[in-house]
A and B are shown apart, each in its own frame.
Chain A
Amino acid sequence: DAKTTQPPSMDCAEGRAANLPCNHSTISGNEYVYWYRQIHSQGPQYIIHGLKNNETNEMASLIITEDRKSSTLILPHATLRDTAVYYCIVRSSGGGADGLTFGKGTHLIIQP
């Protein structure tokens, strides 16, 4: 799986949009971008994934650049409960049973 690079930490004001960047310059054609988050003392939680088109669900939006070398996770109206470590993971679409490779992630702190 391709390597990802994320800033170690970010702050965002409550109610504002939180934009979390991720670089994955070595991503290959069959690799998807996945985002998970881990709220303190809980198990990781899936947020969203995409291949090349922008994606949106009830939790977030995912914007992937045209060259697919970077992406941005957007939490449109951040709340205090969104404070967590956010992981950007690149994974092939092979569908095998291999586990996820977590990096260090971005610690997002939502300020009241």
Chain B
Amino acid sequence: DTAVSQTPKYLVTQMGNDKSIKCEQNLGHDTMYWYKQDSKKFLKIMFSYNNKELIINETVPNRFSPKSPDKAHLNLHINSLELGDSAVYFCASRESGPYNEQFFGPGTRLTVL
């Protein structure tokens, strides 16, 4: 099926650990995003990648680093995890252009203990 997929779906880890979340899209889109949805359900943009170039970094701590090995993948690496990093992380993609909508993945629920 054509879609945006994320792995893992759930991630439970200890404070101070380093973890990665993977995202893949097979829609042929050229722009990918990471969003964070906190416990209060606010959805906020974290990063976007367009043609392997970081476009936006919305005041995200530098412990978070997006890595795009190719146009179909945008992985999120998180170093030295903190309790406040617990959230649901959504990956999304779109084809650049003025009207094209974003397609979201199913989310990864990260719990930091």
Which residues of A are interface residues toward B (Cβ below 8 A)?
A: 32, 34, 38, 41-46, 49, 85, 87, 93-102, 104
Of the candidates A42, A93, A97, the one whose C-beta lies within 8 Å of that of B56 is A97
Which residue from chain B places its CB closest to the CB of A43 in the assembled complex? B104
Given the known A-B contacts A46-B102, A49-B101, are A97 and B96 also in contact in the complex, defined by CB atoms under 8 Å?
Answer: yes
Judge whether B106 and A49 touch: CB under 8 Å: no
Judge whether A44 and B45 touch: CB under 8 Å: no
Name the residue in B99, B105, B107 with the highest tally of chain A Cβ atoms < 10 Å from its Cβ.
B99
How far apart are the CA atoms of A41 and B49 in the complex, in Å?
25
Of the candidates B45, B50, B55, the one whose C-beta lies within 8 Å of that of A100 is B45
Given the known A-B contacts A42-B106, A102-B42, are A97 and B31 also in contact in the complex, defined by CB atoms under 8 Å?
Answer: yes
Enumerate chain A residues within 8 angstroms of B92, measured Cβ to Cβ.
43-44, 99
How far apart are the CA atoms of A32 and B106 in the complex, in Å?
26
Which residue from chain A places its CB closest to the CB of B35 in the assembled complex? A99
Name the residue in A87, A93, A99 with the highest tally of chain B Cβ atoms < 10 Å from its Cβ.
A99
Which residues of B are interface residues toward A (Cβ below 8 A)?
A: 4, 31, 33, 35, 41-46, 48-50, 55-56, 58, 90, 92, 96-107
Name the distance in Å between B83's Cβ and chain A's nearest Cβ: 22
Enumerate chain B residues within 8 angstroms of A45, measured Cβ to Cβ.
104
Say what secondary structure dominates the interface of chain B.
strand
Judge whether A93 and B50 touch: CB under 8 Å: no
Q: Could you list 30 A-B pairs, sorted by A, with CB under 8 Å?
A: A32-B99, A42-B106, A43-B4, A43-B106, A44-B102, A44-B104, A45-B104, A46-B101, A46-B103, A87-B43, A94-B98, A95-B96, A95-B98, A95-B99, A96-B55, A97-B48, A97-B49, A97-B96, A99-B45, A99-B48, A99-B56, A99-B92, A99-B102, A100-B43, A100-B102, A101-B45, A102-B42, A102-B43, A102-B44, A104-B41
Enumerate chain B residues within 8 angstroms of A85, measured Cβ to Cβ.
41
Given the known A-B contacts A43-B90, A43-B106, A101-B45, are A95 and B97 also in contact in the complex, defined by CB atoms under 8 Å?
Answer: yes
